[in-house]
Amino acid sequence: MENIKKKRFETKGQMVSYFLKGSVIFFSLSIVASLLVTFFEFIGPKIVQYTINYCIADTVTENDSVPIYIIRLMDALGGKDHLKTHLYLIALVIVVIAVFTALFRYLYRILNSIASERLVERMRNKLFSHIMHLPFAWHSENHTGDIIQRCTSDVETVRAFISEQLLNLIRIVIRIIIAMYFMIGINGFLSIFSAVFIPIVVLYSCFFHRRISKSFQKADEEEGRLSAMAQENLTGVRVVRAFGREKYERDRFVEKNYHYSNLWIDIMKLLSAFWASNDLISGLQVMVITVLGAVLCVQGTINTGEYIAFVSYNAMLTWPVRALGRIISDMSKAGVSIDRIMYIMNSEIEEDKEGAIDVSMDQDITFDNVSFSYGNGTDEVVRGASFKIEAGKTTGILGGTGSGKSTLMYLMDKLYDLPSENGRILIGDTDITDIKTSCIRKNVGFVLQEPFLFSRTISENIGISEKELDIAKVRDAARIAALDETIQSFNKGYETFVGERGVTLSGGQKQRTAIAQMLVSRPQIMVFDDSLSAVDTQTDAKIRAALSKEIGKSTVVLISHRITTLMHADNIVVLDKGRVREQGTHEELLELGGIYKRIYDIQMQGT
């Protein structure tokens, strides 16, 4: 199997770093670019400080020693007296710095976009292949809409978190460190007042983060339910229309949607309170620094240049500290999404038992005392079934709806696992649990009771099992399935688009397409699961006649509740409520005078 992750992720971090493979380099470069942005942003106030103190105010004190390289730089620009009268030179330096800031900001954005798109691409690919390899049973347990929501909305949340919040977190921490470094350099006492607010905001945010994460989870699950419902109604739109259920379905949707929106309103209420109080704290902090700084400046502890630089650095700190709070609260949302994605990634894919082998499928298939129930605690739908499907022969399985016919075939195709205490299914002498799933699937052709066609052309649908479309093969198969004429009658013939925004095929046409689909690959074992139920008796007979010529040495299983469909089979198994009641040829079963005979009599009435 290509590149499919088999190990479980133990932690969220493990999964995130798995997804990050390939984009880490871009994220790292974008961090470097953003550090350069920060660096250029931070030298601005310094230049203003030195200009004021050294050139304009002339108040250079011992403890405000201007670094020698600054003096050299200023001398290079013409010396302090020259600069005092030519301040535009300083302005030019500031413009140059601004240009560099812009340049690196631009690089940061580009690198960050590349990184985050690569990340989402990988996430989507990995999720898709994982989902494709999950067992059939998993798919019947999980709602399509919900899975789609996990693959779109949750993926987007994680992307936003990693590419925006997480990177911001790194930038913010660095910004705080640099700002604190400069501020302490100016005045340690004042810096304490500035710094003391940081832990307050962080602790408050963490506390809040705990409170709100449950609400995010609820909202996410509700969104999943809503998508599932919308998806179901879209796929089932015909049923909804046919039964005039629009109002009922709309009301149900409106109710769910209302509930979902309310969840968000509640969350937003909490968040607003959080952000508002967070802003209040930041505002207080700015006020304290401005006032206290002014006092120190008046006292002469710091000079004007230092005061202005300090206030600028403090302002640069306000945004990150505020954002820090927001990021911590966003973490809850991302955490929930990561969990929801991890649910998919940690669902176990279909895997063969160790040492599973390929076997020749040209052998008898034996059902040995097979019992099965879907899920825990539900009733058994197959009860102690024992019979043989002989190689190269045709076996019929007759039974009413719900008698377990399809289930038997699903078990044989390993779509569901048969627990070892529930009997055995053997191919030749080998238990199917010891046979590679791929070997079985390749050799068992299934015409499903409810065939599914993709929104592609008819020929593509029929040739779906082929790597390269061979139109002659496709037409041949269609002919046997009594479908060729119908297709020819369409405007675009075999190129007609099926399904969404294409031609909608009738139930019988769909079934025949599915038959043609299987005939293209000519598998060793062909299962027709109620495949002719929607075609009229005449076409049924026509197809069967054509099939019997084509089948050759294939093993055929015909499943039906209609005796005419399978009366010519070499062996007929009569199934009733999961139990095998009778077996034999048509003649033998009639002779027996049991249920087969009774069903026969009923079905023959009026024909």
**DSSP tag of 504:** P
* Contacted by 402, from Mg ion, ligand ADP, none: CB < 5 to 8 Å by type: ligand ADP
In angstroms, give the least distance from the CB of 605 to Mg ion.
24
Instruction: Give the C-alpha distances (Å, rounded to integers) separating 516 from 309, 507, 513, 603.
Output: 79, 14, 5, 28
Only one of the segments 126-134, 173-181, 326-334, 398-406 lies at the binding site for ligand ADP (rule: CB under 6 A); that segment is 398-406
140: contact with ligand ADP by CB under 6 A: yes
511: contact with Mg ion by CB under 5 A: no
What are the phi and psi torsion angles at 334 (to 5°)? -65, -40
Only one of the segments 31-39, 327-335, 405-413, 586-594 lies at the binding site for ligand ADP (rule: CB under 6 A); that segment is 405-413
Cβ burial of 338 (10 Å; 0-12, 13-18, 19+) is buried
Size of the site for ligand ADP (CB under 6 A): 11
* C-beta of residue 455 within 8 angstroms of C-beta of residue 502: yes
* Residue 258: count of CB within 10 angstroms of its CB: 10
In angstroms, give the least distance from the CB of 449 to ligand ADP.
7
* C-beta of residue 296 within 8 angstroms of C-beta of residue 190: yes
426: CB partners within 8 A, 6+ apart: 365, 366, 368, 432
335: contact with ligand ADP by CB under 6 A: no
**Distance between CA atoms of 533 and 507, rounded to whole angstroms?**
9
> Which residues, 370 to 389, sit near ligand ADP by CB under 6 A?
374, 381
Among 332, 406, 517, 531, binds ligand ADP (CB under 6 A): 406
* C-beta of residue 399 within 8 angstroms of C-beta of residue 328: no
51: contact with Mg ion by CB under 5 A: no
**Distance between CA atoms of 459 and 519, rounded to whole angstroms?**
13
Nearer of residues 406 and 511 to Mg ion, judged by Cβ: 406
> Which residues, 58 to 87, sit near Mg ion by CB under 5 A?
none
**Distance between CA atoms of 123 and 112, rounded to whole angstroms?**
16
Among 235, 360, 401, 488, binds ligand ADP (CB under 6 A): 401
Nearer of residues 278 and 449 to Mg ion, judged by Cβ: 449
403: contact with ligand ADP by CB under 6 A: yes
Only one of the segments 331-339, 402-410, 541-549, 563-571 lies at the binding site for ligand ADP (rule: CB under 6 A); that segment is 402-410
* Residue 126: count of CB within 10 angstroms of its CB: 20
* Contacted by 282, from Mg ion, ligand ADP, none: CB < 5 to 8 Å by type: none
Rounded to an integer, what is the distance from CA 393 to the centroid of its chain?
44
Nearer of residues 227 and 406 to Mg ion, judged by Cβ: 406
* Contacted by 205, from Mg ion, ligand ADP, none: CB < 5 to 8 Å by type: none
In angstroms, give the least distance from the CB of 383 to ligand ADP.
11
399: contact with ligand ADP by CB under 6 A: yes
Contact mark string toward Mg ion, 352..391, x via CB under 5 A:
----------------------------------------
144: contact with ligand ADP by CB under 6 A: no
Q: Structure tokens of 246?
A: 């629009």
Nearer of residues 112 and 406 to Mg ion, judged by Cβ: 406
Are β-strands 424-427 and 571-576 bridged in parallel, bridged antiparallel, or unpaired? unpaired
In angstroms, give the least distance from the CB of 371 to ligand ADP.
13
SS (H, E, C) 290-359: HHHHHHHHHHCCCCHHHHHHHHHHHHHHHHHHHHHHHHHHHHHHHHHHHHHHHHHHCCCCCCCCCCCECC
Only one of the segments 11-19, 36-44, 449-457, 519-527 lies at the binding site for Mg ion (rule: CB under 5 A); that segment is 449-457
In angstroms, give the least distance from the CB of 28 to ligand ADP.
47
* C-beta of residue 168 within 8 angstroms of C-beta of residue 288: no
Nearer of residues 296 and 557 to Mg ion, judged by Cβ: 557
Instruction: Give the C-alpha distances (Å, rounded to integers) separating 43 from 39, 97, 100, 169, 290.
Output: 7, 8, 12, 22, 21
* Contacted by 445, from Mg ion, ligand ADP, none: CB < 5 to 8 Å by type: none
Among 187, 449, 457, 571, binds Mg ion (CB under 5 A): 449
Interface residues with ligand ADP (CB under 6 A) are 140, 374, 381, 399, 401-407
Interface residues with Mg ion (CB under 5 A) are 406, 449
